[in-house]
Amino acid sequence: MMASVRLKELYKRFDKVVAIDGVSLDIPDGDFVVLLGPSGCGKTTTLRCIAGLESPDSGEIWIGDSIVNDLPPKDRDVAMVFQNYALYPHMKVYDNLAFPLKMRKVEKNEIDRRVKDVADLLGISHLLDRKPRQLSGGEQQRVALGRAIIRRPRVFLMDEPLSNLDAKLRLFMRAELKRLQRELKTTTVYVTHDQAEALAMADKIAVMNKGKVQQYDDPNAIYNNPANVFVATFIGSPPMNMIRAAIRQEGSNVVLDAGSFSYTLSPEYSEVLLRNLQSSEVFLGVRPERLILTVEKVPSSVFLSEVYVVEHQGANMVVDLKIDSEIIKAIAPPLPLNIGQRVWVGFDEENIHIYDGKTEKLIV
């Protein structure tokens, strides 16, 4: 029933636009994999290639243990859920759900049983007699999901299925969808440009940019060990701070010179950096929640900066800090801070990421 999905060196261009630029992905059977990236990075095109709605210029698409490049969509045994649910407006919910089975000439009693099962699973049994226009956005989305799962396809393909919902319903539905996928254990490829959604839902995330997979890993690794500057600054809210710094050697230590402050690395970090560095500059990356703000100087303090603005978020606050003409962001527990006040900013070495200034790849 279920199946893995494998993409090997997929390329697709539209005239001069390279939409997919050598994508290889191994999606294990039963996994929930999210394609995450900015607008235009090739997510939908990749999904449509898997569905068979688009054919790649080169590369292989595997579902289970066969290549499906030459199979028409209907023979691939995949179900796609789109952003706009595309329900049949003139049909009741019951008939919308039954439709894919009717098309496949499933027997009437069997259809009835499966419609009721799926409606039960999705909590829409009380809506079966309504038309789509008599449903809320979340209810319509559940019907669309129901229509996809009722066939019990080998693979679900979902393209921003929650993006038409309001913020609260979206949070609710993303948890529901994840629970449903765990229950059905159907291999799922899910497209979004929302990093929080990706972190929350995925077994593995493929971060894409400009038609290429930048990193393919579990959410924890993507967050804590971003492989390059793009991934580091795409993930997180606010994203990772990136400070450009020149490097200078002092004995067995490397000093990162950011202009407005400098930071001396331990001999261990220095050694790794010098061994792998390809340029004389680096990006020093620190997540906002890893910055330590104090009014008095403490051992971890690295530089003094000025509070530019403070945004309260309930349990925490986001503090914008000015160093020279740059703004960096810190997440801190509520502190009595005023605009213009000077505070010490620091971090622990184990919480920083250093990226090569030229290749933008993670060094340490």
Ligand X SMILES: Nc1ncnc2c1ncn2[C@@H]1O[C@H](COP(=O)(O)OP(=O)(O)OP(=O)(O)O)[C@@H](O)[C@H]1O
- Tokens representing 94 are 């019951």
In angstroms, what is the minimal distance from the CB of 157 to Mg ion? 12
Question: 93-103 and 108-122 helices cross at what angle (nearest 10)?
Answer: 130
Nearer to Mg ion by Cβ, of 191 and 242: the residue is 191
Q: Which two tokens stand for residue 166?
A: 């309001």
Task: Pick the closer one to ligand X by CB: 29 or 194.
Answer: 194
Question: Measured from the CB of residue 43, what is the shortest distance to Mg ion in angstroms?
Answer: 5
Instruction: State the minimum distance, in angstroms, from the CB of residue 257 to ligand X.
Output: 38
Tokens of 261: 């402050």
Residue 295: name its binding partner from Mg ion, ligand X, none (Cβ under 5 to 8 Å by kind): none
d(C-alpha 275, C-alpha 217), whole Å: 25
With respect to ligand X, which residue has the nearer C-beta, 19 or 78?
19
**Considering beta carbons, is residue 22 or 64 the nearer one to ligand X?**
22
* Binding partner of residue 285 among ligand X, Mg ion, none, CB cut-off 5 to 8 Å per kind: none
Nearer to ligand X, 189 or 363 (CB): 189
Any idea how long the chain is? 364
Q: Are 338 and 299 in contact (CB under 8 A)?
A: no
Q: Other C-beta atoms within 10 Å of 150: how many?
A: 23
Considering the complex, state which of residue 37 and residue 56 has its C-beta at the smaller distance from ligand X: 37
Site string for ligand X, 4-33 (x = CB under 6 A): ----------x--x-x--------------
Among 85, 86, 89, 84, which Cα is nearest to 131's?
Answer: 89
186: partner contacted, choices ligand X, Mg ion, none (Cβ within 5-8 A by kind): none
Shortest Å distance, C-beta 35 to ligand X: 8
Q: Is 193 in the site for ligand X (CB under 6 A)?
A: yes
172 Cβ contact partners less than 8 Å away, ≥ 6 residues apart: 138
Stretch that binds ligand X, among 37-45, 133-141, 241-249, 322-330 (CB under 6 A): 37-45
Q: Which is nearer to Mg ion, 44 or 141 (by Cβ)? A: 44
Q: Could you check whether the bond before residue 238 is cis, i.e. omega within 30 degrees of 0?
A: yes
Contact in structure between 185 and 30 (CB atoms under 8 Å): yes
CB 37 → Mg ion: shortest distance, Å? Answer: 9
Is residue 313 part of the contact set for ligand X (CB under 6 A)?
A: no
CB contact set of 251 (below 8 Å; sequence gap of 6+): none
Q: Which of 45, 215, 233, 241 binds ligand X (CB under 6 A)?
A: 45
39 binds, among Mg ion, ligand X, none (CB under 5 to 8 A by kind): ligand X
Nearer to Mg ion, 44 or 209 (CB): 44
Q: How many CB atoms lie within 10 A of CB 289?
A: 15
E-strand ranges in the chain read 5-14, 17-27, 32-36, 58-63, 66-67, 78-81, 155-159, 187-192, 204-209, 212-217, 241-250, 253-257, 262-264, 281-286, 292-294, 301-312, 317-323, 326-332, 342-346, 352-356
Given a contact cutoff of 8 angstroms between Cβ atoms, the answer to whether 76 and 52 are in contact is yes
Q: Which residue's C-beta sits nearest to Mg ion?
A: 44
Site for Mg ion in 37-66 (CB under 5 A): 44
* Residue 154 DSSP symbol: S
Q: How many residues in the shown chain lie near ligand X by CB under 6 A? A: 12
Point out which residues bind Mg ion (CB under 5 A): 44
Residues within the interface to ligand X (CB under 6 A): 14, 17, 19, 37, 39-45, 193
